[in-house]
Structure 1
Amino acid sequence: MSLKPAVTVHRRIAEIGREAWDACAGNPAYAGNPFIRFDFLDSLEAADCAVERTGWGPQHLAVEDEAGRVAAVMPLYLKSHSQGEYIFDHAWADAYERAGGRYYPKLLSAAPFTPATGARLLVRPDVDVAQARGMLLGGALAVCREFGASSLHVNFPTADEWRWMGEEGLAQREGQQYHWHNRGYASFDDFLGALSSGRRKTIRRERRDAQADLEILRLTGAELTEEHWNAFFGFYMDTGSRKWGRPYLTRRFFSLLGERMADRVLLVMARRHGRWIAGALNLIGDDCLYGRNWGCVEDVPFLHFELCYYQAIEWAIERGLERVEAGAQGEHKIARGYLPSAVYSTHYIADPALRAPVEAFVARERASVEADIEWLAEEYSPFRREAT
């Protein structure tokens, strides 16, 4: 399939359109990742979350084939800060600006506010992948030059994209998260059977204490109502205000998510005597459950573990999903069956004076992260040795 030589830039994903975008994002190779679909990204723009005013100026790229159909796309944002990214480059920005440089604006390819791995160079299944990727990356670098941006960052790409971009000269960074993997468990008790006896007892006690006097519901699809979103937004705002000062998502975003992607949403909610007190938001992929946001208005011991980790594992087992990705950070997840896993990013730095130290840093960091992953999995795994 021949491609037109031009790469077009779009200030809203709506300019590309759902059908054209999802023809690329729906490539079976991406395993139904919900965060790269049109409805998720467009909801963030329509709800004023990922827009110029919040420092997320859309600059999405598209490549067309000779017939004029969109053949490949790339989510891309012109950023005036480094918030909501979960791959931290604040130290780079500080060092560059102390030396007299201007780090912002920068370009970022990612699913906004979402530390989940997913394809960033989205290619229609019948299109040559190498050619389309090359055009998208070249287009992103051209946008970087056009705006005088300091850098281009691609956060949480797939491992295959990460390797390819490394071969194209981008600096390769590695981080870690904690993921639960389904080893063919028939039930939650079957999963517990793979753990050490001490961990089994602890998890059973945590679940018992968390569930005492509470009603816990798992809501998806048509079960989701504005009542649930009203309650959850209250949890989200309370937690977000305490953790980072300015929550990223608006109330309208959650309504749009419920309207457009209800079948991809799992909302785990807890209530006491008819009053909602806590909730955890997950998005459903074809092979993975992605934990995203949590909040509460009542402090209940172990309820965070119950709603975010144990309910997610139980639901994934029931649906036969391969894994649960519980979001960023948190070594405490290891004891609950979530083992360290590598995540990736790539970085192009325009100024050679900054590029060289960044490349040296990420090379050292990568070796350290890989060693940490191996050590943590070996020393702190809750699984019985014979079960691994």
Structure 2
Amino acid sequence: MNKGYRDFKDYLDSFNSRKRKTLIRERRFISEQGITLKQIPGKDITEHELDVFFQFYQLTYLKRGNPPYLNLEFFKQIAETMPEQLLLILAMKDDTYVGAAFSLVGGDSFYGRYWGCYEEYHSLHFEACYYQGLEYCIANKLQRFDSGAQGEHKIARGFEPVTTWSAHWLTDPGFAAAIKDFTNREAGLMEEYRGNAAELLPFKNSE
């Protein structure tokens, strides 16, 4: 949640000293590697930049032996029909694109969604997917940054674990009853896990 931070430094000032030093060091790694990043609002994304992003997006799946489930035409269509809700972050080194993150904006929320890179650079994933998005949220007074499911590494960077919901319709009564029984029993365990995860938050009042 955005607690009225003035800038990224103000955000870091809310961290305990050890965690704050970690984030400062990770951001420094980016400049030391000669990497620069730029934030491109949807209305300014060129066809070439979208093609570059899609290459990175494909690689994320191909590295794991899976085909991407979205195609280039999908990204072109949303760039054309809802540009005000898109943000593309491109990372460059020596005039060459080395990574990209694709996010969406809706209401008072920011949704980090797709990421890819040609090769691994120290802390580039954190910078492109989290720190750039946090800066954007603060600058644009967005209240919530949804960085997606899973990943305890996000908690150490200030992303609070929250409970989310989904709806499912199961036509088989027996199957529906079995799943309902399981989710009812699972709910308590998940709440316990959320509480334990929240204790790992880096903020001063969570020390």
Q: Is TM (by shorter chain) over 0.5?
A: yes
2:28 to 187, 190, 208: 208
Q: CA deviation at 1:254?
A: 1.6
Q: Which deviates further from its counterpart, 252-261 or 275-284?
A: 252-261
Alignment partners' CA distance in 2, 1:233 and 1:244: 17
Q: CA deviation at 1:372?
A: 1.0
Task: Flag structure 1 segments of 5+ consecutive residues without an equivalent.
Answer: 1-180
Alignment partners' CA distance in 1, 2:144 and 2:72: 29
Alignment partners' CA distance in 2, 1:298 and 1:289: 26
1:254 to 57, 60, 75: 75
Give the root-mean-square deviation of aligned CA atoms.
1.5
2:39 to 200, 218, 233: 218
Q: Does 1:299 align with 2:120?
A: yes
Q: CA deviation at 1:282?
A: 0.6
Alignment partners' CA distance in 1, 2:115 and 2:31: 17
Name the residue aligned to 1:193: 13
1:381 aligned partner, one-letter code: L
Q: Does 1:355 align with 2:176?
A: yes
Q: Hey, which of these two has a bigger chunk of strand by percent? A: 1
2:10 aligned partner, one-letter code: D
Alignment partners' CA distance in 2, 1:326 and 1:211: 24
Task: Flag structure 2 segments of 5+ consecutive residues without an equivalent.
Answer: none
Ranges of 4+ aligned residues in structure 1 off by more than 4 Å: none
Q: CA deviation at 1:386?
A: 7.2
SS for the counterpart of 1:280 is strand
1:265 to 86, 98, 101: 86
Q: Between the two proteins, what is the percent identity of the paired residues?
A: 39
Contact map agreement 1:281 1:294 (CA 8 A) in 2: yes
TM-score (norm 1): 0.51
Contact map agreement 1:211 1:303 (CA 8 A) in 2: no
Between structure 1 and structure 2, the one with the greater Rg is 1
Contact map agreement 1:340 1:376 (CA 8 A) in 2: yes
Change (3 A) 1:342 1:386: closer
Change (3 A) 1:341 1:316: same
Alignment partners' CA distance in 1, 2:170 and 2:107: 35
SS for the counterpart of 1:217 is strand
Name the residue aligned to 1:343: 164
Q: Does 1:243 align with 2:56?
A: no
Name the residue aligned to 1:384: 204
SS for the counterpart of 1:238 is helix
2:196 to 366, 375, 378: 375
1:307 aligned partner, one-letter code: A
Contact map agreement 2:158 2:203 (CA 8 A) in 1: yes
Name the residue aligned to 2:138: 317
